[in-house]
Amino acid sequence: MKKIAIIGAGYVGLVTGACFAQKGNRVTIVDNNQDKIDQLLKGAIPFYEPHLDIIVQDALAKKTITFVSTIQEALSQQPEFVFSCVGTPSLPNGAADLSFVEIVAAEIGMHMEQYTIIVNKSTVPVGTAAKVETIIAAKLTERNVKIAFDVASNPEFLKEGDAVNDFLMPDRVVIGVRSEESAEALYELYKPFLTSDKQFLVMTQPSAELTKYASNAMLATRISFMNQLAHLADKLGADIHQVKHGMAQDRRIGAHFLNAGIGYGGSCFPKDVAALVHMGMEQHYPMTLVKEVENINHVQRVWFSHQITNHYGPALATKTAGIWGLAFKPETDDIRSAPAIDVIKKLLEQGANVIVYDPVATENIKKIFGDLITYADQGQQVLQNADFLVLLTEWAEFTTTIPSHFLQLKDRVVFDGRNCFAPEDMKALGVSYYCIGRNSVTDDVPLNHYHVAATQHDSSAWQ
């Protein structure tokens, strides 16, 4: 059993703390939002993440987890490990905002009482571990005390919607350290989650920090590549679904992240791609490929919205648009950088009425649009009240819909941002079906028209 402090009760911090507590460690989680702390002490999770509530409630019952509102209180319990899991949002120039990381480091330096391993689990630019070391050392000097400590980089690889499984059964655990002592201690901490020592990867701090950005940028690149290829497939009469299948059989490529669609969103890919572009600029080595990934993702959203406006023209102002899916992906209520936000804004600009439904993300979207749009209690209600449907999140309850249900739409038109249905089935029903890369109806404006706009676009606005 280890004593662990977790700073930040967001997606990363809460999942990390809960999973460590499940293995019998003593975990204290810090958050400066007292209302959130009060809810967590009752076992109520402030966001949707499958199975997390069960683990937290079990840990509370076993008294292996607790929640406090100050770092000082957490450190007074003399934890062996302190995990920094605070947010690193994008600044206007695309750089990661490290202000929360720096505040946490200063607080640790002011209140630590014994040798501690401080672990950066937040996604942070290369060089942050060294910066944290400097801040903590400065605070110890101000206190006129000598306390040994180590700083490790331990980036998270947690998919929203499957974060608990990712932590309990990781592909790999990446550790960036400068001492064998901290590496060995972290290995013992993570050992209960490993099925093989090969999963535990020890490297330098800068390498660990860059690994996180490199991983997310690679996945984002696969998405943008397939989306650009899908437009070419449409123009050539090819089926991107068949192309994907042909590619995926190559073991060097595989099937993951090869689905054409409206593009990536969420809290990680947009932010991390922008940060990697910024790091390249700082080093006078432009990350041109990564920048193009970012541009293509923006293009995809503009292009998709244009399918709707091009189909209806001025008549869109007289229509009611139905939206299925508000979260950026299934099994989460996270709407950060969600395509739904951009599509809804475009529809409202054109004067359309909008009715939306999502299994879990409705309350979050209300914070943005309020009473400007209508909120349905179920997907069927959207079909019964809309002229056409826009599908933006591939929740299972949407993808398993019997296509004949779309005949309830007044105009019998579906704009599918996730390629959930077979175009031939929709055509046989008499449904106008706009999808991506599957011989759907395309616009007459060349795609490079949007490429120019995207290149000129301030990408930070999409983070």
Active-site positions? 268
**Helix axis angle, 240-248 to 205-236, nearest 10°:** 140
- SS3 label, residue 95: coil
Q: Enter the tokens of residue 185.
A: 């201690």
Provide DSSP, 261-311: SS---TTTHHHHHHHHHHHHHHTT---HHHHHHHHHHHHHHHHHHHHHHHH
- SS3 label, residue 47: coil
Say if residues 145 and 108 touch (Cβ distance below 8 Å).
no
* CA distance linking residue 147 with residue 144, whole number of Å: 10
Say if residues 199 and 225 touch (Cβ distance below 8 Å).
no
User: Residue 272's Cα: distance from chain center in Å?
Assistant: 10
Could you give the dihedral angle defined by the CA atoms of residues 215, 218, 219 and 224, in that order, rounded to the nearest 10 degrees? 160
- DSSP class of 463: -
Q: Which residue has the tokens 């989306």?
A: 227
Say if residues 393 and 359 touch (Cβ distance below 8 Å).
no
Nearest to 223 by CA among 171, 264, 277: 264
Could you give the dihedral angle defined by the CA atoms of residues 448, 453, 454 and 460, in that order, rounded to the nearest 10 degrees? 180
Q: Which residues pair with 174 in a beta bridge?
A: 201
Find the angle CA(322)-CA(323)-CA(326) to the nearest 5 degrees. Answer: 160
**Beta carbons within 8 Å of 349's beta carbon, 6+ residues apart:** none
Q: Which residue has the tokens 């101000």?
A: 142
Q: Which residue has the tokens 């572009």?
A: 277
**Can you give 72-94 as a three-state secondary structure string?**
HHHHCCCCCEEEECCCCCECCCC
Nearest to 273 by CA among 285, 288, 258, 252: 288
